[in-house]
Structure 1
Amino acid sequence: MNVRKTLFALALLGAAGVAQAAPNCTVKIKGGDNMQFDLKTATVSAACKSISFELQHTGKLPVAAMGHNIVLTETANAADVAKDAVKAGAAAGYVPAGDARVLVATKMIGGGETASASLPGSKLKAGGDYTFFCSFPGHSALMRGKLVVTP
């Protein structure tokens, strides 16, 4: 009888390990013509091989009038990258080319469009301080959030 109880207990422990949720490796964000992201905080796991950012522009205005993207940087770099993004201009999608401070960025999109971009999970450290924002001129002050990276 004790053998059966032990086997049952082991089976329950094994099932508990399987039942744990997979780490979150995708951040889905919506932004519209009101210059707001629907998320202020997103959480991902540093254990992810790849972390994806998916942006849906829920508005109707074209990219030239109300374009949106997602740019991820360390928080300490966010303000300077946002300034440099405006200088980079529309032709560069308002993302400074080759800027190592930009950890990942989606392309600039207009109403009804979607975009995604990924980075290796190894580029982010658990407990690090990260900010995502839209780099379209004038948007970064309102369209921003914090990325929390868990182990």
Structure 2
Amino acid sequence: MNIRKSLIALALLGCAGVVQAAPNCTIKLKGGDNMQYDQKSVSVSAACKSISIELEHTGKLPVAAMGHNVVVTATPDADAVARDGLKAGAAGGYLPAGDARVLASTKMIGGGQTATASLPGNKLKAGGAYTFFCSFPGHSSLMRGTVVVTP
């Protein structure tokens, strides 16, 4: 009986090594009235068919005073997209309309609100350089982080 239990235990241990964690396909961020996201780096898998972005504004100020969004771009494009977003103004969500450099973005939200967006997983390549930031005027220098794409 002990030999049988030992063999079963060994078989289960062997199977445990084969089981892999599900790929992370969600970027979850919180941002508040302190003009900071709760994370400076997020990680997603290149194996994802679709990547979800979830933003929660934990502050109390309205969108006109302290709006936040999440914009994902290739890192070399981030500063230019943020600058060009100022020209789009509040009506454009501080993002240039139809800008191909914007890989994904949530809408601009105020305190207590949430927003979601998604992008096809094939827009992000493992090892690529990607940045997330808030495009509200003056926020992109503080509310910025790195998207790490794993194989």
TM over 0.5: yes
Aligned to 1:103: 103
- TM-superposed CA distance for 1:75, in Å, is 0.4
- Write the distance in 1 (CA, Å) between the matches of 2:35 and 2:9: 55
Identity of aligned residues (%): 72
Please state if 1:147 is matched with 2:147: yes
> Taking structure 1 as the reference length, what is the TM-score of the superposition?
0.91
The 5 A counterparts of 1:106-145 are 106-145=106-145
- Write the distance in 2 (CA, Å) between the matches of 1:138 and 1:11: 55
Aligned to 1:16: 17
- TM-superposed CA distance for 1:9, in Å, is 5.4
Aligned to 1:48: 48
- TM-superposed CA distance for 1:15, in Å, is 3.6
- TM-superposed CA distance for 1:50, in Å, is 0.6
- Write the distance in 1 (CA, Å) between the matches of 2:145 and 2:43: 11
- TM-superposed CA distance for 1:95, in Å, is 1.3
- Write the distance in 2 (CA, Å) between the matches of 1:101 and 1:6: 56
Partner secondary structure for residue 116 of structure 1: strand
Give the total of aligned pairs. 149
> Taking structure 2 as the reference length, what is the TM-score of the superposition?
0.91
Gaps of 5+ in 1: none
- Write the distance in 1 (CA, Å) between the matches of 2:121 and 2:37: 23
Q: Deviations over 1:66-104 (max 9, x none)?
A: 000000000000000000111111111111110000000
- TM-superposed CA distance for 1:108, in Å, is 0.1
Q: Deviations over 1:19-74 (max 9, x none)?
A: x2111110110000000000000000000111111000000000000000000000
Aligned to 1:37: 37
Partner secondary structure for residue 103 of structure 1: strand
Return structure 1 stretches of 4+ with deviation > 6 angstroms: 5-8
Q: Provide the aligned C-alpha RMSD in A.
A: 1.8
- Write the distance in 1 (CA, Å) between the matches of 2:119 and 2:134: 17
Gaps of 5+ in 2: 1-5
What amino acid does structure 2 have at the position aligned with 1:112? Answer: G
